[in-house]
Amino acid sequence: MNIAVIYGGKSGEHEVSLRSATSIVRNVPTAAHRVIAIAIDKDGAWYLQDDSVLEAVRRDPAGVLSFAADESRQVSVVPGGGLTGAFVCAGEKIPVDVVFPVLHGTYGEDGTIQGLFEMAEVPYVGGGVMASALAMDKEKTKVIWQAAGLPVVPFVSAKIADWQNEESRRELVAKAERDLRWPLFVKPACAGSSVGAAKASNREELEKRAGEAFLWDDKIIIEPFIPAREIECSVTGNEAPVAYTPGEIVPSHEFYDYDAKYLDPDGAALQIPADIDEALTRKVRQTAIQAYRALDLSGLSRVDFFIDKRNDTLYLNEINTIPGFTSISMFPKMCEASGLPYADLVMKLVNLARARFDARRALRTDRQ
């Protein structure tokens, strides 16, 4: 197959994407498949990369995918182009059998690029348009999980227009104080990798942290800060999802923030399997599948949980439809702990994408 790996992106997680895509490129079996590297810069322009970029990271175990923003190699996507004509560079069509979008966060994980691929009529790894958009929005995810009877952390959401209005802001702060409890945790509703997330211990800090979160999104989530163990569970599949061995993040920071995830080499320990008993392991895996199905997801997701250290209550925290794929990321490591090696995982996801595409193509779009 011709597998287009798309990476970079107009997102606060651009650099994370480069590392994730690097690992995927290294694990596609080149004897049977060809990788086509398409990089998106921070302004949103798409560029076809020379094969030498791929060869460089395959040769250098410490290397990270880079890209050249060569205007003569800018890529266009053609609606209805299909497998042989959806991608065009310098007037030449680029045959693509499946797309692997390694794009974390905004414009990659939120349904926008998924809609583009649907219009282009090409198969792509991961959830569909609606499922991706819902899963990216932490507020909407929580509302759906609550409706499905799944356990979520209590929350208050706020839009920027309401927060900027003094009277509305006072009401929101009062609601957070009444329904939740100090300290509070503030995060953008539609951002990942803990970007813009912070703890607030009083009203002054809450207003400051909210202002910082609003730099990343026009809606924020306010929750009680839970002293919690952080449990994660990988899920793959379309109609019959499978949940893998849960793992645990043990951060050395107060919580698992961006620095702990990506900048501090000693920011967290990754423990697989998680140190939980068999009954709780079973419950985590079952709940992960329920959470995945409630959002109509397909392909893959990493489902994140909290276990309250004070009373062992299990909560769903959030879900990531294109989780980190670096060599040390939890998603592939949890799959590997269940007997699915990284390279086999990559090809499993590619095959799930094609199966979903074929199933949707069989649906009628014309009454005649």
Domains and CATH numbers, the chain: 2-124 (3.40.50.20), 135-151+227-359 (3.30.470.20), 156-224 (3.30.1490.20)
Q: With DSSP H G I counted as helix, E B as strand and the rest as coil, what are the percentages for the chain, rounded to 5?
A: 40, 25, 40
Q: Which band of pLDDT confidence, cut at 50, 70 and 90, is reported for residue 255?
A: low
Amino acid at 123: P
Higher model confidence: residue 250 or residue 138?
Answer: 138
pLDDT tens digits along 142-159 = 999 999 999 999 999 999
Quick count: other Cβ atoms within 10 Å of Cβ 294? 20
Tell which residue, 46, 63, 34, 36, has the closest CA to residue 8: 46
Characterize the bridge pairing of strands 46-48 and 75-77. unpaired
Most confident of 31-35, 287-291, 320-324: 287-291
pLDDT at 261: 52
The kind and range of the H/E element at 315 are strand 314-320
What letter would DSSP give residue 124?
B
Quick count: other Cβ atoms within 10 Å of Cβ 63? 13
pLDDT at 365: 74
Query: Is the confidence at residue 262, as pLDDT, over 90?
Result: no
Q: What is the mean pLDDT of residues 295-316?
A: 96
Can you say how many angstroms the Cα of residue 124 is from the centroid of all Cα atoms in its chain? 15
Of 66-75, 245-254, 312-321, which range is least confident? 245-254
Higher model confidence: residue 245 or residue 363?
Answer: 245
Bridge partners for 304 per DSSP: 232, 318
Bridge partners for 266 per DSSP: none
Q: What is the mean pLDDT of residues 94-117?
A: 94
Q: What percent of the chain has pLDDT over 90?
A: 74
pLDDT at 190: 85
Q: What percent of the chain has pLDDT over 70?
A: 94
Amino acid at 26: R
Q: What is the dihedral sign for C-alpha 98, 297, 281, 260?
A: positive
Query: Is the confidence at residue 1, as pLDDT, over 60?
Result: yes
Query: Is the confidence at residue 362, as pLDDT, over 90?
Result: no
Q: What is the mean pLDDT of residues 47-55?
A: 93
96 close to 2: Cβ distance less than 8 angstroms: yes
pLDDT tens digits along 153-210 = 999 999 999 999 989 999 998 999 889 989 999 999 887 656 688 899 998 899 899 9
Q: Which band of pLDDT confidence, cut at 50, 70 and 90, is reported for residue 319?
A: very high
Q: What is the mean pLDDT of residues 49-60?
A: 92
Higher model confidence: residue 138 or residue 255?
Answer: 138
pLDDT at 79: 96
Query: Is the confidence at residue 253, as pLDDT, over 60?
Result: no
Query: Is the confidence at residue 279, as pLDDT, over 80?
Result: yes
Write down the mean pLDDT value for the chain: 91
Query: Is the confidence at residue 106, as pLDDT, over 90?
Result: no
